[in-house]
Structures are given as structure tokens and as C-alpha cells.
Structure 1
């Protein structure tokens, strides 16, 4: 099996989109897997998985839990465990199980997870992913599932089976400006007219044309998104956020540009990007990020923890030596609550990961025990005290 195929199957499994036949293929490979499997698993988990020591009895128990997954094919019960498989069976269970937060540098053991499951925010029934048109139409996309596609001069939702459901008439000759709005507690994918893929994080919106011009490809972002831009030798791709402009010809990068944040953060995964902000420019290399400070009108570049930056795309929080306020900002955007503080909150930093599929109360319980904090819920209001 090629590494590309293995990566594809692994991502399908983690995102709950894998078919029975594909799951059978993945599990069959895991049973005979070599070190190539570790390269597919996120780098941040690699060292922890190598340190696992499991008995055959423990491995059988873990393997049994995997087989309880309804997506798996029953014939895989005959797969024989070997030492290599023990490691990867544990990997699947650990990565797809519930995880916790730990107080930064207070514990050496860190549980991590990249399992993605749909989260139900507090007022999920009042929110939906919406597409707005320049004609004033407003379409809810939640019920259709899948992702939004603008290929072949049509606007359609592609469901989990790959079937296209056209949502706007294809006889329009005039280019429309569209806005995709993703509410708190959700993420969504869109395939742009040029074939570029964009994943929008919660509380984010993307403005784009139904067809790009012959000269350039321009979109506007409010919030956070991960871009996989289709290569084009001459037609530049631009992402505008406030005064910040990211310009590429074809590459992969992440932009965090939420209103109210001091910095617009551009993180490059591969290729190269040019970041222009307030008469300043920076050319990034893979693994670097640019911080465009909205107040000071400056650009600062630094090395990035790419796996931590992209954790949201895989469905989990990844806190790396961050303060309480930063954590609360992410909680507000995902669980749709308004955070306020009472009294003096001692400065404290946290590290670790937590699955976004878990409830807000579970996350708060972890923070209370680790940080000597107290949380009080009053409807959508979340009060933090020490």
C-alpha cells in the first residue's frame, strides 16, 4: 500500500467517513504494518506510541475494542496480533479515545487525540452553516452534510457518498459574490472554483466569487481557515484579512484572523507565501509563521508548532504553554459561551490536548482540578473565579 493511500484511509477513519470496505483495507494493513504507519500518525504522538509496553492480554483487549467499532468488518476478527500490530492497535484506541488537559510542566504524561466527532454546542438548534449570495439569498447547509463545491460552474453540496446536490441555478452568467458562514461549534470544507480546498474553523466566514477572474484569485477571511491552494503558474491566490494580504501561487497554509485578536497569524505548511501588512512584507518558509500585529502595524516571523496550529482541523484543542485567557477564547468560539472573570485570577499556563467532541463541562472539570479554578454556568454565560 502506498503512503498516500495509507494516509487517505487513516484520515477517513479519524473523521468518521470511512466505508466498511476501506476500514477492512486499513485494518488489514495495520496487522502487518511496518514503520511506515508511524509516519502517518501525527508526529506529536509518535514518541509516546514508541514507549508503549503492552502485554498480549492487554493487546487482545485493545484489539477487541477496535473490533467493536461498527464501521469495521467482522471478518477482521481473524487477524492475528503481532508485536507491530500491538503498537498500532494501541495507537488507534489512544488517539480516538477521550483525552485530557494537563497543567503545563506539572505532569510528564500527556494523552493526545485526533479523533473528530460532531460537537453539539449549547444552542446548536439555533445555528447553522450558511451560504449567503449577492442576491440576498441565504441557504442553510447543515442538513445536507458533506462539503460545498464550486467546480464545473455550479454551486453544489457534495454529500458523504460523493453525490452532488445543486443549490444554485447553473444558468447564471453573472459572477456572484458568496459568503460562507460557519457558526460556533462547527467546521466546514469548501472546494473553490479553481479546485483549491479550504477548511473553515468555528466562528469564521469566507467571502469568494462563484467564478474567479482571469487575472487573480481573491478571497476574504474573517476567522480561521486552512488552505490547500491549487497551483497556477500565473494566477495568484490572495487571502485578505483586514489589512493583511497573503499571496501565493499554490501551497498549504493556515490563517488565524479573528476580530479582536492582536495578531493575524499566518502559518506555512509547505511551499511559500508572501505576507503583506501595513507596508511590510515577509516571505515565509515551511514551518514558519508571520504575526501581523493589528495595533502596532508590524510583522514578526517565528518558527511554528505546525501540528498544534492545525489541531483544530482534526477536531481537538492543542494547548502548548498557553494562558487561561487564550484557552477561554477558544472555548467561547467552540462552545458558544460568553466568558467573564470575577476576582483576581492568578497567571497560569496550560498544556495538553482535549477532544472537541467532549462536552464543555468535561473540559471545565479538568481545568478546575489542574488550575485551582472555579467555573459557574448561567445559561450561555461562563464565570471564571479562582
Structure 2
């Protein structure tokens, strides 16, 4: 079956127009597990856009039926015991109005979480939502500007460079002349829960994830290379320049490019620095040793190691943050909680012997942290309680 045919059948299903014969065709296609990415995208569009900008056509009646079916199944058996093939017989009467796509040890499981449902017992953390979207720009003279409080238009002029906050929130560096081109460095920092986009004077665009910062010159004129320093995570779309390679210093590694798109994850609290290439070509250095990577590959340097490791990247997981998602494909609880801490601006503590299970799932980052923690608890491997702005992680019911 082609992807076009699969999407057509899915659309018919959503509108209650699917015949029994076509339903069997669709169900068989789903069982082949070749169309999970199409299901995910269809589901997530509904989640991220909300009812106001709904982009698919699941009817309210089907959505309501889906929720009833999920609640019934949750009462009948543990989450980890539900396999995807057991879901197919009732998939015809349930919708993809889901807030989370969880992969348990038994297969893919689709959930819709609603805070208003009395049948749930959520973790008592309703006050914790994503952190502040504040972005702090530090100018060459040391003065700091909170960009949230700055109106659109020119923010500041530094020599022959002006900084403009555009209508869509991007920060643009524009060269206005060459008579007063001084070497000036700026620093931009996203606080926990925030993100920002910066377009440098050469046209290179960088998007910073939460709790990240970048140190960079306001202009690259007269320089042998275009060097910026990154702490945290950033996605780079580099403007081409044969005469000036673009370089990113991130912890112990340096990435050198001429023009390409790539992601660098270099948080200080992560054990591995990862550079993932989307298109073009980059060379990643550790010390004087460099390795070329191709699109779809990832170069990683783990703590205590002296060599870069090249692997095939999980692009969906790497770029999930850029698309407004949490996505975990075999992540440990430590990795998940570090992301939660950076996005929701909370502290995390551990009590007891926490099992080293792997977790799989996807959730919009704009969701309340309750929804993510409750899903994790459903696996039976972990349990949570809170004290102020601290999330305490404990062993779950399966480990007792």
C-alpha cells in the first residue's frame, strides 16, 4: 500500500465513511508497522494545534468513544500488557485525538489524557507548567536585555551592526556599514522553559533549546572563520561561505562546516556531547582529531572517552524539541528527568533504588508535567511525589 492510499483510508475512517472491506485493508496496513510515522504526525497535529486550529477531521463522537474505550482498558489490565494488535479491533471506533503516543514493552499504545476526567488520579503537580520563555541578551558592554520586555523593532546598535527583534520573535543581526566595525561579542541565553531564534550577521540561523546559551561576534568581517560557542542545545542552519568556515565550540568538541544544517547537544549535565547532521557535511573535532559525518549520522563524545563515536542518528528523537515535542526512544529515567528539569524549571531528587528501564513515548512540550509523570507511573517502574518545585523520583510498584 502506498502512503497516499494509507492516508486516504485514514481520512475515511476519521469521517465515519470507511467500508468494512476498506477497514480490513487499513487494519492490515497498520499491523505491518510501516505507517507508524504517518499515524504519529496525524495525531500530533491535532494535539499541537488544539481545537481552535484543528487540522484533522476526527469527529467529537469518535473522540469521545475513544476516551471511553481507553478508560475501560485501563481498568481491565496494566498498560504494559496491552499490545498493539489487541487495539486494532476497537481502533475503528476510536479517534487519534491523543495527547501521548507511548511505546510500552508490549508495543505502541495511544492515549488521550484529560485533566477533567474524574477517573484519573493525577500526580498533584497542577501548578507546574513549562518554565519561563525569557531570553536574556548580553551586549558587548555587559548590559543585559530581557527580550520579552522589548517591543518589535531595533533593540540596540553596536557600531555598524543593529539588532532587530522581528515580528515573529526572531533576533536579527544586520550590518549597516563598514566604517565602525569593531570586534564586539554578544551572549544570548534561554532560561528554563524558553527557546529563541537568532539570525547572525552572515545569515546563519540558530535556534536555541531551553537552558542554553551562545557566545558570538556581532559581525564576522575580517575573520578567518565564523566561530561561536554553545552551551546546551542548538539547531544550526549555516549560510555558505567557502572563505569562512563556520565553527561551533561545544564543550570538548568543535564542529566545522561550510554550509549545512545540524544539531548540537552539549548540556553540561549530560554525559555525552552529540552532533547530528541533517544535510551537507561537517567535521567534528576532539582535540586535533577530526571525523567527517554524513547526513543522518551522529558524532558523540562521552565523558571519560578520548574518541568520537559515529552512529546512525534517530532523527525524530533528536529534532523533537525543535518541533515542540518530548520524544523518548529507549531513554532512561535520568535522561527524561533532566529534560523535564530544563523545560519546567524544577529540581529533581532520587530516593531508593530506581530501576534502569528504558522508556518510549511522545508528548507535546506545552503539556502540564502531570501528564508526563502519570504516564511514566503507569509503567509501574517509577513513582513520583513533590515538595515545592522539586520532583522526587522513587521505585514504582513493580520494583517493590
- Under a length normalisation based on structure 2, what TM-score does the superposition of the two structures give? 0.68
User: Does the 8 Å CA contact 2:195/2:209 hold for their aligned counterparts?
Assistant: yes
Of 10, 35, 41, which residue of structure 2 is paired with 1:52?
Answer: 10
User: Does the 8 Å CA contact 1:149/1:192 hold for their aligned counterparts?
Assistant: no
Q: Where in structure 2 are there 5+ consecutive unaligned residues?
A: 19-41, 58-94, 113-126, 396-400
Question: 1:86-142: CA deviations, max 9, x gaps?
Answer: xxxxxxx95xx6522525432334579xxxxxxx965846x7210001211100112
Q: Where in structure 1 are there 5+ consecutive unaligned residues?
A: 1-34, 40-45, 78-92, 113-119
User: Does the 8 Å CA contact 1:227/1:254 hold for their aligned counterparts?
Assistant: yes
How many angstroms does 1:150 deviate by? 10
Of 180, 200, 215, which residue of structure 1 is paired with 2:208?
Answer: 200
Judged with a 3 Å threshold, the aligned counterparts in structure 2 of structure 1 residues 291 and 148 are, in CA distance, closer, same or farther, namely: farther
User: Does the 8 Å CA contact 1:149/1:158 hold for their aligned counterparts?
Assistant: no
Instruction: Provide the C-alpha distance between the structure 1 equivalents of 2:154 and 2:372, rounded to a whole number of angstroms.
Output: 31
Cα-Cα RMSD: 3.9
User: Does the 8 Å CA contact 1:348/1:371 hold for their aligned counterparts?
Assistant: no
Instruction: Provide the C-alpha distance between the structure 2 equivalents of 1:263 and 1:135, rounded to a whole number of angstroms.
Output: 34
Would you say 1:321 and 2:333 are equivalent positions? Answer: no
Question: 1:307-326: CA deviations, max 9, x gaps?
Answer: 21001001001100111111
Instruction: Provide the C-alpha distance between the structure 1 equivalents of 2:153 and 2:360, rounded to a whole number of angstroms.
Output: 32
User: Does the 8 Å CA contact 2:337/2:348 hold for their aligned counterparts?
Assistant: yes
- Counterpart in 2 of 1:375? 384
Partner SS, residue 154 of structure 1: strand
Of 349, 354, 357, which residue of structure 2 is paired with 1:340?
Answer: 349
- Counterpart in 2 of 1:154? 162
Aligned positions of 1:209-288 closer than 5 A? 209-214=217-222, 215-288=224-297
- Counterpart in 2 of 1:108? 108
Instruction: Provide the C-alpha distance between the structure 2 equivalents of 1:385 and 1:295, rounded to a whole number of angstroms.
Output: 28
Instruction: Provide the C-alpha distance between the structure 2 equivalents of 1:360 and 1:221, rounded to a whole number of angstroms.
Output: 27
- Counterpart in 2 of 1:3? none
Instruction: Provide the C-alpha distance between the structure 1 equivalents of 2:152 and 2:317, rounded to a whole number of angstroms.
Output: 25
Question: 1:40-94: CA deviations, max 9, x gaps?
Answer: xxxxxx98x577374474479x9xx99996569xxxx9xxxxxxxxxxxxxxx95
- Counterpart in 2 of 1:359? 368
- Counterpart in 2 of 1:136? 142
User: Does the 8 Å CA contact 2:100/2:361 hold for their aligned counterparts?
Assistant: yes
How many angstroms does 1:146 deviate by? 7.9
How many angstroms does 1:362 deviate by? 1.4
User: Does the 8 Å CA contact 2:135/2:189 hold for their aligned counterparts?
Assistant: yes
How many angstroms does 1:330 deviate by? 0.8
Judged with a 3 Å threshold, the aligned counterparts in structure 2 of structure 1 residues 362 and 109 are, in CA distance, closer, same or farther, namely: closer
Question: 1:318-362: CA deviations, max 9, x gaps?
Answer: 100111111111111111111111111122111121110100111
Instruction: Provide the C-alpha distance between the structure 2 equivalents of 1:155 and 1:99, rounded to a whole number of angstroms.
Output: 38
- Counterpart in 1 of 2:99? 99
How many angstroms does 1:176 deviate by? 1.6
Judged with a 3 Å threshold, the aligned counterparts in structure 2 of structure 1 residues 311 and 161 are, in CA distance, closer, same or farther, namely: closer
Of 177, 188, 213, which residue of structure 1 is paired with 2:185?
Answer: 177
- Counterpart in 2 of 1:28? none
Instruction: Provide the C-alpha distance between the structure 1 equivalents of 2:196 and 2:296, rounded to a whole number of angstroms.
Output: 24
User: Does the 8 Å CA contact 1:149/1:190 hold for their aligned counterparts?
Assistant: no
The aligned length equals 310
- Counterpart in 2 of 1:89? none
Instruction: Provide the C-alpha distance between the structure 2 equivalents of 1:165 and 1:283, rounded to a whole number of angstroms.
Output: 30
How many angstroms does 1:236 deviate by? 0.4
Instruction: Provide the C-alpha distance between the structure 2 equivalents of 1:318 and 1:123, rounded to a whole number of angstroms.
Output: 16
Instruction: Provide the C-alpha distance between the structure 1 equivalents of 2:171 and 2:354, rounded to a whole number of angstroms.
Output: 51
- Under a length normalisation based on structure 1, what TM-score does the superposition of the two structures give? 0.70
Partner SS, residue 298 of structure 1: coil
Instruction: Provide the C-alpha distance between the structure 2 equivalents of 1:193 and 1:123, rounded to a whole number of angstroms.
Output: 31
Partner SS, residue 248 of structure 2: strand
How many angstroms does 1:246 deviate by? 0.1
Larger Rg: 2
Bigger relative contact order, structure 1 or 2 (CA pairs below 8 A, ≥6 apart): 1
